């Protein structure tokens, strides 16, 4: 049997057929045009589902389930999209809407959860029972895998590891609290901190590199200068690694999983980022022995689609 995974993003919809081992076989994309009515978006998703199945010379009867990964608040138990700031609609039952197109079980979950499941089934955590994925981007998406399945709490909206306060009364977070993990360790938070630091230091090599055009600075430039031993880049990366290690140590003390996986574009920095983090976590972890691996994600953008496809794999189908 095969599975369809859909990554519903704010700018792009990606749909793929995935085999039962979590291997992606064929993928197609279309722009989301997120301002549209939900029925148009779902109609596009359904069209792509049919196309990808045709693309591997199979039939819809070969598909066991369809899974959707979506940003925002999702009630996975009810198959309900509740709210995401990228979209114009609220409280849409994707499960019911998809029934207009297919007689195939449909699952939906938060995209961070799907990415964690994807990395768990066929990515960095393959073979591990318990893992936690932190996707660093505009925010920090948390995905908790327990016993090979997504854990999202009793009301479908748990896993908000980015909104764990690590510095009481610290930086203001978009959620209204002060000092959340996300407000220090999202890529956006790092970029903001970087821009401020470079703007304040006109003698720095990074300031010269972008010729004072601060909006051109980004984390790739930061890590390139860090690798060269630049003092300002070193300060910023080390401070960032300390905060990230603080949050990751919390996660390990609480979950003691086999692995914590770091996703998002910044995970491409691999050991350059992970080495200083692991150093701090080893120093701080409860009991003094770090048994949990800290790994970069390996599936990139496909983690979410693969995980979405796998949502229905071990479910008792209705």
Contacting residues toward a second copy, per CB under 8 A: 73, 128-130, 142, 144, 146, 151-161, 163-168, 170, 175-177, 179, 243, 246, 249-250, 253-258, 283-284, 286-288, 291-292
Alpha-carbon distance of 69 to 117, in angstroms, equals 11
Alpha-carbon distance of 265 to 136, in angstroms, equals 7
When the beta carbons of 168 and 211 are compared against a second copy, the nearer one is: 168
Any idea what DSSP says for residue 211?
Answer: T
When the beta carbons of 13 and 144 are compared against a second copy, the nearer one is: 144
CB of residue 186 vs a second copy: minimum separation in angstroms? 15
CB of residue 232 vs a second copy: minimum separation in angstroms? 22
Any idea what DSSP says for residue 57?
Answer: T
Rounded alpha-carbon distances, angstroms, from residue 262 to 141, 202, 232: 10, 32, 24
CB of residue 295 vs a second copy: minimum separation in angstroms? 14
Rounded alpha-carbon distances, angstroms, from residue 292 to 249, 275, 288, 289: 10, 14, 12, 9
Alpha-carbon distance of 173 to 140, in angstroms, equals 12
When the beta carbons of 132 and 311 are compared against a second copy, the nearer one is: 132
When the beta carbons of 26 and 151 are compared against a second copy, the nearer one is: 151
What is the number of alpha carbons within 13 Å of residue 126 lying toward its C-beta? 11
Alpha-carbon distance of 284 to 241, in angstroms, equals 13
CB of residue 252 vs a second copy: minimum separation in angstroms? 8
Q: How many residues does the chain have?
A: 318
Q: With CA atoms as reference, report the closest residue to 191 among 247, 138, 241, 122.
A: 138
When the beta carbons of 32 and 130 are compared against a second copy, the nearer one is: 130
CB of residue 223 vs a second copy: minimum separation in angstroms? 23
CB of residue 279 vs a second copy: minimum separation in angstroms? 15
When the beta carbons of 231 and 286 are compared against a second copy, the nearer one is: 286
């Amino acid at each position: 049997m095969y599975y369809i995974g859909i990554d519903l993003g704010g700018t792009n919809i990606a749909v793929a057929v995935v085999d039962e081992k979590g291997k992606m076989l064929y993928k197609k994309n279309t722009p989301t045009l997120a301002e549209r009515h939900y029925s148009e978006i779902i109609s596009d998703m359904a069209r792509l589902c049919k196309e990808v199945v045709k693309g591997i010379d199979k039939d819809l009867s070969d598909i066991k389930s369809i899974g959707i990964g979506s940003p925002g608040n999702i009630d996975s138990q009810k198959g309900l999209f509740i709210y995401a700031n990228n979209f114009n609609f609220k409280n849409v039952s994707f499960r019911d809407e998809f029934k207009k197109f297919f007689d195939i079980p449909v699952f939906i979950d938060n995209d961070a959860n799907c990415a964690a499941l994807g990395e768990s089934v066929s990515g960095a955590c393959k073979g591990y029972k318990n893992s936690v994925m932190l996707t660093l981007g505009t925010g920090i998406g948390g995905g908790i895998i327990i016993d090979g399945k997504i854990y999202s709490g009793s009301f479908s909206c748990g896993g908000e590891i980015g909104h764990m306060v690590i510095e009481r009364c610290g930086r203001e977070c978009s959620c209204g609290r002060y000092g959340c993990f996300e407000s220090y360790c999202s890529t956006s938070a790092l970029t903001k901190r970087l821009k401020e630091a470079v703007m304040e230091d006109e003698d720095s090599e990074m300031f010269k590199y972008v010729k004072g055009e601060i909006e051109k600075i980004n984390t790739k430039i930061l890590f390139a200068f860090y690798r060269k031993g630049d003092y300002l880049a070193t300060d910023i990366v080390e401070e960032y690694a300390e905060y990230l290690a603080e949050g990751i140590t919390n996660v390990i003390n609480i979950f003691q999983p086999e692995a914590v996986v770091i996703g998002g574009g910044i995970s491409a920095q691999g050991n350059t980022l992970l080495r200083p983090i692991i150093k701090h976590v080893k120093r701080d972890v409860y009991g003094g022995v770090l048994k949990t691996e800290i790994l970069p994600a390996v599936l990139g953008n496909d983690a979410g689609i693969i995980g979405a496809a796998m949502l229905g794999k071990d479910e008792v189908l209705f």
